[in-house]
Amino acid sequence: MKIIEENQVEISDLIEVKSAEYLGEYFIQVVFKDGFHRVVDFKSFLEKAGHPSIQKYLDKRKFQEFKIIEGNLNWNDYELIFPVYDLYRGQI
């Protein structure tokens, strides 16, 4: 057998954020393109981050200013962004 073409598609290429809703504190409900949804708690990540550009999102007003751009959940024009597959698994 001879393989003529191999198509390697990563699962992260197939997963996109469709919508997201702030639920309070540091919880965001994320709905993905395939219909799966998960509530993600960002508090631990933000508290452990040592960099001031990340810790500033402990300000809940700033934290709520996320946008969905090209299937990704991000803050301030990609200043803070998480791999979409990690959000899907709930492991940030």
What is the reported pLDDT for 52? 93
pTM comes to 0.82
pLDDT at position 1 over 70: no
- What the chain holds in terms of domains, given with CATH numbers, is 11-89 (3.30.2020.10)
CA 82 – CA 29 distance, rounded (Å): 14
What separation in angstroms does the CA of 54 have from each of 11, 18, 72, 80, 81?
27, 24, 17, 7, 10
What is the tens place of the pLDDT at every residue in 10-56?
554 579 999 999 999 999 999 999 999 999 999 999 999 989 999 99
What is the reported pLDDT for 13? 59
**Three-state SS for 14?**
helix
| Cβ partners under 8 Å of residue 28, min gap 6 | 20, 21, 22, 39, 40, 42, 66, 73
Which DSSP helix (H) or strand (E) runs through 90? none
